[in-house]
A and B are shown apart, each in its own frame.
Chain A
Amino acid sequence: MDRKPEHRALLADVELLYTLYAEALDDGEIARWPSFFADEGALYRITTRDNLEQGFDLCLALCDGQAMLRDRAIALQKTVMYRRRFQRRIMSGVRLLSFDEGKGIEARATFVLYEAQGDDPSKLIACGRSTDVIVRQGDELKFKDRLCVVDARVMPDSIVFPL
């Protein structure tokens, strides 16, 4: 890890992006989800270690661009049927792999998603790591490429909302 002060400041900014992203989704504000991604060329993917190890391109979710991110967000609000659930995302172990804001900051993080539904306590839905490319757009950091890789082969239930 680079210890230069400017890199530490950047890390703090990136950590704040993850925190705000998780907070918005945990608060159920799915409509705001696309706003965490870059206006141009955004990519969001969920896959599994199993698929990745075998070189499979298939994703559990794939949004190529803002329009597709918004379509998924709207579909989740208007066409998909699910029982109400309460989610909690824990994102930790954020590490920057590259610091070039021009090309995009490469970051790695661990994520965990718990979900409470009905009378049951929160259960683990997904656990894994993300590899992200983050860019500065105006004053804010945005995800340009967010790749979430789930550890489990078998998902314990639906992954209704984004990781």
Chain B
Amino acid sequence: MQSTLTWPLEGSRRAPGWIYTDPSIYAREQERIFGGRSWNYVGLTAEIPHKGDFLQTYVGENPVVVVRDQENQFRVLVNRCTHRGSQFCIEPRGHVEGFTCPYHQWSFGLDGTLKSVPFRRGIRGKGGMSECFDPADHGLESLSVAVRHGVIFASYAKDTPPLEEYLGPTILSYFDRVCDGRPLQVLGRMRHRVHANWKLQVENLKDTTHAALLHAFYVKFGIWRSDQNTEVKVGPGGGSSVLVSTASFKPVVEDEAITPDFDLADKRLIAFQREFEHGTGAILTIWPNLIILQQLNLLAMRHVRPDGPNACVKTWTFFGYQDEAPELRQKRLMQANLLGPAGLVTIDDNEVLAMAQDGATAAPFANTVLEAGKGSGDADHLMTESAVRAFFDCYRGVMDL
């Protein structure tokens, strides 16, 4: 059996199984991708609307706290006390004046600066911190932050290119299509573990062909079909891409039917109201692990948190716009039946991704095949795996593979 981790000679038209299973690859991803020059989605400004509001999330697998400080600036602080390394923040969200670690009561400001240390001068002149201890040296680790139209990103690197440059004009235009500066309103969250490597989950949203083959629900009701208008657009470096599609809503014709016939008795499940200029869906994947979903009237930030080589945790933050019509809001809530852990479409993906992970585990030195279409660029049809190849172009560069 082969034992070295060398990328196949075919380049990004192949992907080896070990990228989904190998612990050393996983560790390198944490360091180079999530810990490197990438913009990691951490939340929406609407989730922390007031000074002192915070929420917990992850950059890669590392827990961080996203906080709106006293100057209305967004801070992303590593949830690790600089004293003994405990997680100082134990609530998933809330409102605070500052953070105090429960272990030894080290207190930090909303900006991460160390404010006070108990027994700094000891007790009755005995003990306490050494002469050379300077609180200024022991603030919380703070990440670089980028905010655009209510969406917050963080980076461990100090020299990550500006978000707009990182996304490039095309991807940025699709980002702005959904997040156009109108105040967003969170409608709720779904979270579930997917028993597959985080990349398989991200690749799934760059894989144009599976939707019309696997997702019988979409096919059946004309939401995503192989004969509809679809475009693939790839951002700079290949890491980010968007799939734009136009649903026909035409009922499936007899000879195409892959399932016994039935029609929805209650059409509210997919009743759609046009919101955006062209296409009925634009599924954006932003390097490394954010999916911005706009499908029918569903809007969601899908954050894919790596959870060891063999699993990831997906958080769906569903949102709409403040002051939108109640009818539109109701459509979003109803269509959410398609997505998430009990989603009539997402269940398909959860299953096949777990099966793909099992395949990689069984045969880490076998390659997956990405031969549909050519190259790693834009396409005006969906019979191509160019966005997946582009993802691997980017991945191999960052990972030096």
Contact = CB atoms under 8 A, between A and B. Distances in A.
Contacts of A67: 265-266
A68 B269 contact: yes
Interface string B230-271: 000000000000000000000000000001101011101100
Contact of B336 (A62, A65, A71): A62
Contacts of A90: none
Given A75-B217, A79-B259, A155-B341, A58 B266 contact: no
A129 interface: no
Nearest to B93: A54
Nearest to B264: A71
Nearest to B332: A58
B262 A60 contact: no
Interface in B175-205: 186-193, 195
Nearest to B316: A58
Interface residues of B, number: 39
Interface string A59-92: 1111111011011101110111111000000000
Interface stretch (B17-25, B111-119, B345-353): B345-353
A37 to B, nearest CB: 13
A81 to B, nearest CB: 5
Given A58-B188, A62-B336, A81 B344 contact: no
Given A78-B260, A79-B220, A79-B344, A155 B193 contact: yes
Interface residues of A, number: 38
Given A58-B333, A156-B193, A64 B268 contact: yes
B191 A58 contact: no
A155 B341 CA distance: 7
A60 B190 contact: yes
Given A51-B188, A56-B188, A80-B217, A154 B265 contact: no
Interface of A: 46-48, 50-51, 54, 56-65, 67-68, 70-72, 74-76, 78-83, 153-160
22 contacts: A48-B191, A50-B92, A50-B189, A51-B189, A56-B186, A56-B189, A57-B333, A58-B188, A58-B189, A58-B190, A60-B190, A62-B333, A63-B337, A64-B334, A75-B344, A79-B216, A81-B214, A81-B216, A81-B348, A83-B355, A154-B191, A158-B347
